[in-house]
Amino acid sequence: MKIIAINGSPRKNWNTDTLLKNVLDGASSVGAETEMVYLYDLKFCGCKSCMACKLKKEPRPNRCVLRDDLTPVLDHVHEADAVVLGSPIYFSEVTGELRSFIERFLFQYLNYDDFSKPLSQPKKTAMVYTMNCPEAWFPEVGYNDLFKRYEDILKLYFGNCETLYSSETLQVKDYSRYHIAGVDGDARQKRHETVFPHDCKKAFELGIKLAAQ
């Protein structure tokens, strides 16, 4: 059983990375082979709409033909049994790097002959988000809709999708050094020590679930 985490955060050892590591630790605790991919370490672009993956060829190409640092990653994810996509929320979306990954990842499987039948194989999938925003604001700022949108597309392509998020994360180690007056740094630090470990535990359990055959 192979599970890959695609890390769409630029910050190693911070919130998104920590949650994804917990997912992979959970999966490896039940025997899964794991891999973490740091998108910000790679040189790649989003889909260039070259349409080569849609050419009338036999067998159907249904794989991205662009050659860059994402090529081996897409191969690994294609072969993996499970994939977890992680990202901080940037301006109410996943990061640009994760969006570019998703374009390349999904477009190769998109079936214009029948949109309801993508050319992908079933796979366990999950989305992991971290953000400043309190959970109580989600309906107002549209995050429930965002989560549902990614869930729906991953379910269509792979048959399932789990969602995990951690809200009101610690953004900096020492709030007193920054212009962040709108956020209570002490409360964030406390939440980081009390709530974030629970989110990490949920991530570990998610990893176990994804690794289950």
Ligand X SMILES: Cc1cc2nc3c(=O)[nH]c(=O)nc-3n(C[C@H](O)[C@H](O)[C@H](O)COP(=O)(O)O)c2cc1C
**Minimum distance from CB of 111 to ligand X (Å)?**
33
- Residue 169 interacts with ligand X (CB under 6 A)? yes
Q: How many CB atoms lie within 10 A of CB 56?
A: 6
Give the nearer residue to ligand X in terms of CB position, either 42 or 133: 133
Give the nearer residue to ligand X in terms of CB position, either 56 or 179: 179
- Residue 14 interacts with ligand X (CB under 6 A)? yes
Give the nearer residue to ligand X in terms of CB position, either 90 or 107: 90
Give the nearer residue to ligand X in terms of CB position, either 91 or 112: 91
Among 2, 11, 76, 78, binds ligand X (CB under 6 A): 11
Q: Which residues pair with 38 in a beta bridge?
A: 7
Among 3, 4, 6, 9, binds ligand X (CB under 6 A): 9
Residues touching ligand X, count (CB under 6 A): 17
CA atoms within 13 A on the CB side of 197: 4
Tell me how far apart the alpha carbons of residues 144 and 137 are, in angstroms, rounded to a whole number.
Answer: 10
Binding to ligand X (CB under 6 A): which residues in 111-150? 130-133
**Minimum distance from CB of 195 to ligand X (Å)?**
13
**Minimum distance from CB of 169 to ligand X (Å)?**
4
Q: Return the H-helix or E-strand segment holding 19.
A: helix 15-29
Quick note: the x/- pattern for ligand X over 63-102, rule CB under 6 A, is -------------------------xxxxx----------
3-state secondary structure of 96: helix
Cα–Cα distances (Å) from 14 to 48, 126, 184, in that order, read 31, 19, 19
**Minimum distance from CB of 202 to ligand X (Å)?**
15
Cα–Cα distances (Å) from 104 to 31, 49, 84, 175, in that order, read 29, 9, 16, 37
Query: What is the dihedral angle through the alpha carbons of 156, 40, 67, 113, rounded to the nearest 10 degrees?
Result: 20
Whether omega for the bond prior to residue 59 falls within 30 degrees of 0, making it cis, is yes
**Minimum distance from CB of 177 to ligand X (Å)?**
15
What is the contact surface with ligand X in residues (CB under 6 A)?
9, 11, 14-17, 88-92, 130-133, 169, 171
